[in-house]
Amino acid sequence: MPPAATSVVYEIREVFRVPLDFAYRWCTDFRPDDGERSKEGNARQILRKGRRTVVYEDLYPSDHGWMWSRQTVTLRPPDRWTAVADGNYRRWKLVYTLRPLSEGRTEFSLRGERRPVHLGTRNPSRRSMHAEFHRMWGNFGRAMEADYRASLRRGRR
């Protein structure tokens, strides 16, 4: 039997050029096309979307077959949400937080504790995981900022 896997904590911060209320709504709308918006290539199925809880599944192609996870998200308006993601390679406990900044910007922070399970062998290095998170949330941020600019042209926020 392999030794027990250890947890590793990863943290990142990003700044989005949108106000906090827009960032919160955008980040917590959980859509089937989120894999396209993040450019991660995952397929997403929304299983349940309630006022305070969202449950969805993601499927990612990998070198060793499919990586699957089910996320249970707890919404904590107006500026945070938490999630537990159980999958065939890893388990995540995630805390997402938004903080208003000057000039209509918002700071996003993500703190995630990852533990390999089942098919997972070990945690990625902090450097590679940070690079992956920054790439994904940078792509989300660009899509969010484009949606925000489009909402201003339409006269909505």
Question: What pTM value is reported for the model?
Answer: 0.88
Report the alpha-carbon distance of residue 71 to residue 57 in Å, rounded.
6
Q: What is the pLDDT of residue 117?
A: 85
Contact between 75 and 53 under an 8 Å Cβ cutoff? The reply is: yes
Q: What is the pLDDT of residue 1?
A: 40
Structural domains in the chain, sorted by start: 8-153 (3.30.530.20)
Contact between 87 and 69 under an 8 Å Cβ cutoff? The reply is: yes
- Say how many CA atoms lie within 13 Å of 123 toward its Cβ: 18
Q: What is the pLDDT of residue 122?
A: 83
Report the alpha-carbon distance of residue 144 to residue 138 in Å, rounded.
10
The closest of 137, 145, 138 to 18, measured between CA atoms, is 145
List the chain residues with pLDDT less than 70. 1-5, 35, 38-41, 156-157
pLDDT digits (tens, 9 = 90+) for 74-106: 999 999 999 999 998 889 999 999 999 999 999
